[in-house]
Amino acid sequence: MALGPHNIRQSEWICWLPFTFLLQKLPMCLEPGMFLGPYNTLFLIFLSAACASFNVNADECLMTRMQEMSLDYHFTVEQEVGSSTYAFFGFNGTAGVWRIDALNEAGGWKDRTTVEDMDLAVRASLKGWKFLYLSSVKVKNELPSTLKAYRYQQHRWSCGPANLFRKMLMEIITNKKVTLWKKVHVIYSFFMVRKIVAHLVTFIFYCVVLPATVLVPEVEVPKWGAVYIPSIITILNAVGTPRSLHLLVFWILFENVMSLHRTKATFIGLLEAGRVNEWIVTEKLGDALKGKANNKAAKKPRFRFGERLHLLELGTGAYLFFCGCYDVVFGKNHYFIYLYAQAIAFFIVGFGCVGTFVPHS
């Protein structure tokens, strides 16, 4: 900042990083039309690349372990593929290096949604700019340790992309700088499948339709569609975090519970309903707080029963439990094993028995 705003505007690059990083990484991005950027905690601005994140508190609790599994797939598969094929790239804006020309040509930072970083990245891609994902660069990242903070984060991450899709659809269709194939990719794969359909299908199929087939035996879902294919996809998603493969069942149940919250947020974004622009900063404990000299024991928050109840989760859990009981008496497919396990997961979250208090490490 000592350079002053005038000199900053005259510069091609602006970032806050060790100088050795610039010597090692910027030569990869000097080709016109390229875009570099890391992810999380290193505040680089203006070109844009993404780096692999290192979750500093992944071992804090079971919930952070399951978050790590989801994020590892996002970075090791989605970001790697998006970068290597120069496809549309979901830039995570906590850190990155942006070329000022790319930022200006894309139209600059806009606050029309709660995912401004993704908005900027998609607009830059529509202008022909390319992104690099640097998996060799590890950047620190802290995961939310409480369910309340995680729910706020997931609401923003689900509602924002859906709302951005609504606002950018015609802009993508009428764009003349990218090929028809890339338009199909960003509309169908980047937005529809990953940001909208994935949330809706997970909740509607596994928490509504599949249990309903127990009550309506005339409707039969083949086992390859209900069990085999989803299991293979889930295992492939979890391979990126081999140390947590033994948590696979818990991860599936937890993700199905969170799919209710994400589905609700997706509809809010698509319909631009009441909480569409709600921005609540994700609360994180911070390792700095844990290392204080006094090292006093953390005080448990006062128990407030009403604040810990989540009625939608409790209602869904009751529905799944009823379907499980019905399947025990009348069913033939033995879905009750899954239905009871999923109902328990919904009850645990619904009664606020997960992610409410994290002890100091």
> Are the C-beta atoms of 40 and 141 separated by less than 8 Å?
yes
C-alpha–C-alpha distance, residues 76 and 255, integer Å: 19
- Note the pLDDT of residue 14: 55
Question: Would you say residue 289 lies in a domain?
Answer: no
Question: Would you say residue 236 lies in a domain?
Answer: yes
CA distances from 173 to 126, 276, 296 (A): 10, 24, 57
> Are the C-beta atoms of 15 and 22 separated by less than 8 Å?
yes
Q: 155 and 187, same structural domain? A: yes
C-alpha–C-alpha distance, residues 113 and 160, integer Å: 6
Question: Would you say residue 5 lies in a domain?
Answer: no
144, 162, 187 - which closes a domain: 144
pLDDT in tens, 166-221: 999 999 999 988 889 989 999 999 999 999 999 999 999 999 999 999 999 888 88
| C-alpha triplet 13, 54, 231: angle, nearest 5° | 120
Question: Would you say residue 291 lies in a domain?
Answer: no
> Are the C-beta atoms of 49 and 139 separated by less than 8 Å?
no
Q: 172 and 105, same structural domain? A: no
- Note the pLDDT of residue 165: 96
Q: 21 and 115, same structural domain? A: yes
- Higher confidence at residue 358 or residue 128? 128
Query: What stretch of H or E contains 148?
Result: helix 147-174
pLDDT in tens, 213-259: 999 988 888 888 888 888 888 888 888 888 998 999 999 999 999 99
Over residues 298-322, the mean pLDDT reads 80
Question: Would you say residue 130 lies in a domain?
Answer: yes
For residue 211, the Cα-to-chain-centroid distance in whole angstroms is: 27
Confidence class of residue 42 from pLDDT cuts 50, 70 and 90? very low
- Does position 151 have pLDDT exceeding 50, yes or no? yes
- Higher confidence at residue 88 or residue 6? 88
77, 110, 144 - which closes a domain: 144
Q: 269 and 177, same structural domain? A: yes
C-alpha–C-alpha distance, residues 264 and 136, integer Å: 36
> Are the C-beta atoms of 55 and 143 separated by less than 8 Å?
yes
Question: Would you say residue 8 lies in a domain?
Answer: no
Q: What percent of the chain has pLDDT over 90?
A: 35
pLDDT in tens, 328-338: 999 887 899 99
Over residues 104-127, the mean pLDDT reads 89
119, 144, 169 - which closes a domain: 144
Output the six-digit token pair for 215. Answer: 């009550």
Counting the structural domains of the chain, the total is: 2
C-alpha–C-alpha distance, residues 183 and 329, integer Å: 51
- Does position 296 have pLDDT exceeding 60, yes or no? no
Q: 341 and 253, same structural domain? A: yes
Query: What is the distance between the terminal CA atoms of the chain, rounded to a whole angstrom?
Result: 37
Question: Would you say residue 212 lies in a domain?
Answer: yes
Q: 352 and 220, same structural domain? A: yes
Q: 139 and 32, same structural domain? A: yes
- What is the longest distance spanned by two Cα atoms in the chain? 76
Q: What is the CATH number of the domain that holds 56?
A: 3.90.550.10
Helix 147-174 and helix 62-73, axial crossing angle in degrees, nearest 10: 20
Q: 359 and 218, same structural domain? A: yes
- Note the pLDDT of residue 266: 96
C-alpha–C-alpha distance, residues 53 and 142, integer Å: 9
C-alpha–C-alpha distance, residues 143 and 284, integer Å: 7
Question: Would you say residue 136 lies in a domain?
Answer: yes
C-alpha–C-alpha distance, residues 100 and 86, integer Å: 19
pLDDT in tens, 46-81: 334 555 566 778 888 889 999 998 888 887 788 777
CB within 8 Å of 119: residues ≥ 6 apart: 110, 112, 113, 164, 168
What is the CB-side half-sphere exposure of residue 290 using CA atoms within 13 A? 11
Cβ atoms < 10 Å from Cβ of 23: 9
Structural domain boundaries enclosing 322 = 146-279+306-361
